[in-house]
Amino acid sequence: MQTDVEFLLNGKKVTGAAEPRTHLADFIREDALASGTHIGCEQGVCGACTVFVDGRPTRSCITLAAACNGADIRTVEGFDTDPLMEAIRDSFKRHHGLQCGFCTPGMLTTAYDIIRRIPDADRETIRKELSGNLCRCTGYAGIVDAIEDVLKEAPAAALQPTERPRSAISATSAAPKAAEISDSKQAPSPETVIVADMALPAADSFETATVLRKTMHLSAGPEEAWRLISSPEAIVSCIPGATLSGPVTNGIANGACNVSAGPIKAQFRGTASITYLPETKSGQLLGRGKDGLSRSGLEGRLDFQLVPNDNASDINLEMRYRLNGPLSQFGRPALVEEIANGLLADIAQAIDATLSGNDATAGRTQPQRSLSGFRLLFNAFKGLIRRTLSTR
């Protein structure tokens, strides 16, 4: 599906069709062929793609082209005769405010905004305001000097923030009626690629990994609980979102686990192994999984031990994990721990329900669960647990 895009780019009207997912930076570069806007990280961190949208600095890599209908967009090419930008360019040159030039379009845009918005900015303020633009070669001293220099006697800024008139919205971007909505594309289906067995990480490779320790309480006694835990298929059925892709052979399981936390959705596919030590009612799970679409990886080791607690039992868990790829950027330890807590509570509840003969889903009462907010890493871990448990 394509959507119509129409806006002013450096004073000239630009029209075109774009996929809704096309971000503004790509549209400017690939469709409008204005390559002065640079794309660095493409995730809103480096600031290289910063352009003016309606007179306000904006990250064009995380702004959709379709969201800019009717906008007035100014890129680094659009300042040839702007006295303030002329002064900034000159000052960058004199103060060695650039070397390779990759960050420069974003730096110039941000510099313009700082000078316009904070005419009395001192060096500290300039640095704070510049902190969203990364430079990897000159260092920032020259850039800060350049801005400070212009601030001494800055020409008036010709470009000012404007409110985009609502009437400027082209008809194509009007909200659809219900009938059109029902025709809209559904969420893409998960990948159908069958993942080959992945090599397992070494058990001793997690010494420096993040560690989470938890104890889950089970209402069943240790003997009864162990019977369930030592059956890989049974334990997998207690882990929400996880499936085995085939029978467990030679202690190795392959499977998938759907994970979601708020807007984050991932499907980890991978391999795990499990080792049981019946005499101590303990064991170890090792696994590795990958979410193909985001190219995020998770590998971990889970050590578990069942201990009696009156007539019931506790299962002590020690998890070590490493995240890599995009997901690692969102895997702050405090978040992961919280997500793990929710997940483990679910698993414990499902184990209890299974052992007492109830529907594993019937006993869930926590409101957070119904929002499915906690599946992220722990689903992955569940996946590992299931797989491991099923790999005897």
Residue 108: which of 65, 143, 154, 145 has the closest Cα? 143
The residue within the footprint of another protein, chosen from 8, 157, 169, 195 (CB under 8 A), is 169
β-pairing, 3-9 vs 72-74, is parallel
What is the C-alpha separation between 143 and 316, in angstroms, rounded? 54
Q: Are 133 and 106 in contact (CB under 8 A)?
A: yes
Q: Does residue 313 bind another protein (CB under 8 A)?
A: no
Name the segment binding another protein (CB under 8 A); options: 8-16, 89-97, 148-156, 178-186.
178-186
The residue within the footprint of another protein, chosen from 201, 338, 364, 392 (CB under 8 A), is 338
Give the per-residue contact string, 206-235, with another protein (x = CB under 8 A; - = no).
Answer: ------------------------------
Residue with tokens 């930076």: 25
What is the C-alpha separation between 173 and 287, in angstroms, rounded? 46
Q: Which is nearer to another protein, 28 or 53 (CB)?
A: 53
What is the C-alpha separation between 154 and 327, in angstroms, rounded? 44
What is the C-alpha separation between 337 and 339, in angstroms, rounded? 5
Q: Tell which positions 260-279 bind another protein, by CB under 8 A.
A: 261-266
Residue 49: which of 14, 24, 78 has the closest Cα? 24
| Residue 389 CB, nearest approach to another protein (Å) | 25
Q: Are 287 and 299 in contact (CB under 8 A)?
A: yes
The residue within the footprint of another protein, chosen from 36, 326, 354, 364 (CB under 8 A), is 326
Q: Tell which positions 45-104 bind another protein, by CB under 8 A.
A: 45, 47, 50, 53, 56-59, 61-64, 66-67, 69
- Cα dihedral sign, 365-371-372-374: negative
Give the per-residue contact string, 278-297, with another protein (x = CB under 8 A; - = no).
Answer: -------------x-xxxx-
Q: Does residue 37 bind another protein (CB under 8 A)?
A: no
**Residues 219-244, buried b or exposed e (16+ Cβ, 10 A)?**
bbbbeebbebbbebebbbbbbbbbeb
Token pair listed for 113: 């905004």
The residue within the footprint of another protein, chosen from 174, 193, 196, 202 (CB under 8 A), is 174
Q: Does residue 363 bind another protein (CB under 8 A)?
A: no
Name the segment binding another protein (CB under 8 A); options: 85-93, 271-279, 301-309, 370-378.
370-378
Q: Are 330 and 299 in contact (CB under 8 A)?
A: no
| Residue 314 CB, nearest approach to another protein (Å) | 14
Q: Does residue 152 bind another protein (CB under 8 A)?
A: no
Q: Tell which positions 112-151 bind another protein, by CB under 8 A.
A: 113, 128-129, 131-132
Q: Which is nearer to another protein, 62 or 200 (CB)?
A: 62
